[in-house]
A = this chain, B = another copy of it.
Amino acid sequence: MPDTEEYRGWLRIALEEARAGLAEGGVPIGAALIGADGSVLGRGRNRRVQDGDPSVHGETAAFRDAGRQRSYAGTTMVTTLAPCWYCSGLVRQFGISRVVVGEARTFSGGQDWLAENGVEVVLLDDPECAELMAGFIAEHPALWNEDIGEDPGEG
């Protein structure tokens, strides 16, 4: 069984992706899909802005980057931010075993629903993830609302 130290190591990868997204002018959410053996199967970041593609959330980007897999049993999705319903649905449908969440302060998604449906959810409550996201939301509220399907309002 991986421990908190290992989870934090995986979160660094997701954070690297999130920071790269921020540098590109994008929504700073990153994720990685980790194999049962601890290897990185895929990694990615939200690319709504960069690609003009609303379907690319951090988790779906990491899932896509991993390519076709025979099974997701034993895999972990690590993400800087609590997964939205779209990404929670991805985790449940494909039987990803565990979700490691950087922070759930700025957004609360489907993590309780996942836990109720047999997914192991680990909340690291990482201050760096929370600061990154809070800063982005304060600067770009309309873009953030668009990304989670809320009315972007003015701006």
A residues near B (Cβ < 8 Å) are: 48, 52-55, 60, 63-64, 67-72, 84-90, 92-95, 110, 146, 148-152
Contact = CB atoms under 8 A, between A and B. Distances in A.
Nearest to A83: B89
A interface secondary structure, majority:
loop
B70 A54 contact: no
Closest 6 CB pairs of A and B: A89-B89, A94-B149, A85-B93, A55-B64, A85-B89, A86-B93
Given A54-B63, A60-B55, A63-B55, A146 B93 contact: no
Nearest to A51: B64
B87 A151 contact: no
